[in-house]
Amino acid sequence: MHRLSLLLLTAMLLAACGLPAATPPTPAETPTSAATPTNTRPPTPTRDPRLPTLPPRITPGPTATPFPLAAGWWEGAVCYEIFVRSFYDSDGDGIGDLNGIIAKLDYLNDGNPTTTTDLGINCIWLMPVAEAASYHGYDTIDYYTVEKDYGTNDDFKRLVAEANKRGIKIIIDLVLNHTSTQHPWFQEALRDPNSPYRDWYLWSAIDPGYRGPFGNNVVWHKSPVRDEYYYGVFWGGMPDLNFRNPAVTAEAYKIARFWVEEMGVAGFRLDAIKHLIEYYTLQEDTAETFEWLREFRRFLERELPGTFTVGEVFNGNPRTLASYYPDQLDYYFEFEVAKQIVGAANTGLARLLMQAAQDAYTKLPYQRWAPFLTNHDQNRVMSVLGNDFTKAKLAALALLTMPGLPFIYYGEEIGMLGVKPDERIRTPMQWTKEEFGGFTSGFPWQMPQLDYPSKNVMLQDENPDSLLNAYRQLIHLHINTPALATGDFIPLQAKGDDIAAYIRRSGDDIVIVIINFDALSTEPFTLSLSGSDLPDGTYQLVSLYGTPPAPPAPLTISNGAIVEYQPFTEIPAQTGYILKVER
């Protein structure tokens, strides 16, 4: 019996029993198999109305043509990162302060370009200085008031004035992605759903259920006041601001204006910028974030011209940073070069460093990137290098001869140790061999590293071969040698050994950098360059840094090429040189 006849008979029996009959399908609707028909789609699930409304997406604008920055103090600068709480305590309460930095400015730069007994830096990056809930300062409570542990707004202005006398520019951490839960904005938004600050943060009636970008971290946090959730990508104590709200952006502009016009800063290090604007589960590197940064740059150019910006895109490299150029911030930290400098010093192998440096130089526009070794979020470089001063000197040599704007973490210049947790990579600066490293006359907020009696500024100052004096020499060379400050980067091909060798050139100012990271001396090696715009001729090489095993042989450049040049027969183990090329 046909299937249709059976269905009709079933319907007649159901009708006789007083039961409703199902309408039989027409032949066109009858499935031919158990498989889902190819001409239908599964229904779109209905979005739970208790979830946040999905905002509209933007259409990215055309990509701007890469451009160099206008001339400014950042050309050839060397920046020094300071955690104020740990640098120097001026009043004996165990906490570093702004007056403590003022007291130590001559150590950083005495303002006399003819002396070399200072470190020589000309830029200071201060980790957060605004009033905050935690010791680290990244959970802001008041954007317009200096952290009371550090001093007052007047103290800050005095620091800027004293730094300017010495040719030092001050930039500060600008933490815009989030505030503290203790910030009055959040407290009002938390307790009053009708508050004008409610839309300054992100809320959901239920937990949206997705996790964050840091290894499945929780990003939606239960409100302590009512049955709802708020968004904070880092942790529950730091709720994210909602930069889709024009009022929040206007406040960010007001904060920037205050610190530049009222407090005198030269610029900002912008924290966690890749998380500024989210789109549901997409929580970093959104088109909306890029557009916000473009608008922020336009605001600075229009209202606060000359304000410098450097952005933190954690683990930034040429691939992940590409979308942030060229018309957003000025510079970005380049994490891959940092990783490979430390890796070369540790392993003795230079190939990955040379590759990373070349990639950054060619793919990131006009050297608008900032190399470093490690920072306040990472184990200190001296710990990574096994407390080896020779390796630390090689890392410093590479850092301060690379393209870009180098940053140095406080204490790096004396080889301070530090392994996480974070408090232990931000320990007090080791000034002397006296109690607590000369950091405070009281009891320090955090104990210094145990090696402070033998590793401190006082002892290294007296030793001409110390790491501190190597940093002093390299920083002064970087700033005062145009080739190192802003020059082109031209890799050399080394034959015979895995060494780092490259030319830095600015006009007629030319230097060659050669570094043997290996624990063994090189065998005979040569350096070659297939072609360049270097002027032809025969040149003499004069050492600016390091003592070569023999006077370097003359260098011949023909048609822009260098053919198997051997400056000397070998390079001793873990040794490097900066050689000036002269007619």
- 244 backbone dihedrals φ, ψ, rounded to 5°: -80, -15
- 141 backbone dihedrals φ, ψ, rounded to 5°: -110, -35
Q: Which one from 147, 271, 412, 518 is the annotated catalytic residue?
A: 271
* Strand-strand pairing, 140-146 and 130-132: antiparallel
In 3D, which of 525, 414, 522 has the Cα closest to residue 461? 414
Q: Is residue 527 helix, strand or coil?
A: strand
In 3D, which of 213, 200, 148, 144 has the Cα closest to residue 174? 144
State the burial class of residue 408 (Cβ atoms within 10 Å of its Cβ: 0-12, 13-18, 19+).
buried
Rounded Cα distance between 289 and 304, Å, is: 21
In 3D, which of 435, 463, 390 has the Cα closest to residue 94? 435
Catalytic status, residue 312: yes
What number of CA atoms fall less than 13 Å from residue 526's CA on the CB side?
Answer: 8
Contact status, residue 534 vs residue 510, Cβ threshold 8 Å: yes
295 contact partners, CB below 8 Å, separation of at least 6: 249
Rounded Cα distance between 101 and 157, Å, is: 12
Going across the sheet that includes 203-204, the strands are 203-204, 229-231, 220-222
In 3D, which of 496, 579, 487 has the Cα closest to residue 541? 579
State the burial class of residue 549 (Cβ atoms within 10 Å of its Cβ: 0-12, 13-18, 19+).
middle
Q: Which one from 118, 312, 412, 488 is the annotated catalytic residue?
A: 312
The label of the residue with tokens 């208790």 reads 50
In 3D, which of 130, 210, 149, 138 has the Cα closest to residue 181? 138
* Per-residue CA distances from 132 to 29, 99, 479 (Å): 66, 19, 35
DSSP letter for each residue of 109-130 = --S-TT--SS----EEEEPP-E
Catalytic status, residue 81: no
Contact status, residue 86 vs residue 96, Cβ threshold 8 Å: yes
Q: Is residue 484 helix, strand or coil?
A: helix
* Per-residue CA distances from 163 to 84, 112, 148, 282 (Å): 15, 13, 21, 42
Going across the sheet that includes 488-491, the strands are 488-491, 500-506, 509-516, 575-582, 537-545, 555-557
DSSP 370: B
Rounded to 5°, angle at Cα 381 from 379 and 385: 110
In 3D, which of 117, 138, 116, 119 has the Cα closest to residue 129? 138
Strand boundaries in 418-558, DSSP class E: 488-491, 493-495, 500-506, 509-516, 526-529, 537-545, 555-557
The label of the residue with tokens 């009709």 reads 8
Rounded Cα distance between 430 and 199, Å, is: 46
- Positions marked catalytic: 271, 312
